[in-house]
Structure 1
């Protein structure tokens, strides 16, 4: 299941990056060759960048390629290293739950209630912000899978001792 989700997110991110490239290319074309900048492309590129950043962070989290300070894990061995990894994953889950899901969900809800729309595209901002809790759910999904994997590794090492 994880591989299917990763593949879908990867393709979706590639599509979003392609759309952002085209939007910026159109912006440059209209500004410099036509002399009148397109009104919607700057906003579209900004919203696409938000989606790419948040969805990309969830994708990277699932691939365990995110930035980390790894001084302490390099010094630890065996069970202590796995316990530290468990603690780190739990902290990431707590952050994703509070900041992305709860905080992002409140932002989406308030934007929806107030009927806020973007200036140029007239798109409801709740549609733009919905990626925040979606990314949070994906991060938690990936980190729970990591926790299960670490736990199974610890359990199998205890059985072999």
Structure 2
């Protein structure tokens, strides 16, 4: 299976998963509002769960946006160069994305998740391991790495 097909499948799953997280987030916050304003017993876990959903949505959504080319960029300046120079600029940017993904997201995020697991850190309301929340960081780093490889391959073929 080609790299593009793998990326298409991963990206489709990512889109469905982040959409499901968004639906869960909306339902969770709706429940929070209902219990806060319409009952005398406000829900104790909804704020924490909403925060965890937002963390996962932000990290996974950023990888999805990267693949779709939806991240904020300075295309105006890059378009002023020749096509050959544009390809070199994009490849350089992709190398910086790879460096950031490996050093900060994958290595740093894995260390953070491992440390939270080693220290047995639990969330206050849900009792959920904080390492599960932190896993969004290295997973998004792996996704950035995968999507960068696809982009680099596409620019090398042109």
Match among 119, 127, 134 for residue 122 of structure 1? 127
User: Which residue in the other structure is 1:156 paired with?
Assistant: none
Confirm whether residue 52 of structure 1 aligns to residue 57 of structure 2: yes
Confirm whether residue 110 of structure 1 aligns to residue 83 of structure 2: no
Could you tell me which runs of 5 or more consecutive residues in structure 1 were left unpaired when the two chains were aligned: 154-161
Match among 7, 29, 36 for residue 31 of structure 1? 36
User: Which residue in the other structure is 2:15 paired with?
Assistant: 10
Confirm whether residue 97 of structure 1 aligns to residue 102 of structure 2: yes
Q: Deviations over 1:52-93 (max 9, x none)?
A: 000000111111211112243021112111000100010011
Query: 2:110–2:138: 8 Å Cα contact kept in structure 1?
Result: yes
- Ranges of 4+ aligned residues in structure 1 off by more than 4 Å: none
Looking at CA atoms only, which structure, 1 or 2, has the larger radius of gyration?
1
Aligned length: 153
Question: What root-mean-square deviation, in Å, do the aligned CA atoms of Structure 1 and Structure 2 show?
Answer: 0.9
Could you tell me which runs of 5 or more consecutive residues in structure 2 were left unpaired when the two chains were aligned: 1-5
Report the Cα distance in structure 2 between the residues aligned to 1:35 and 1:68, rounded to whole angstroms.
48
TM-score in terms of structure 2 length: 0.94
Query: 2:87–2:155: 8 Å Cα contact kept in structure 1?
Result: yes
Report the Cα distance in structure 1 between the residues aligned to 2:74 and 2:89, rounded to whole angstroms.
13
TM-score in terms of structure 1 length: 0.92
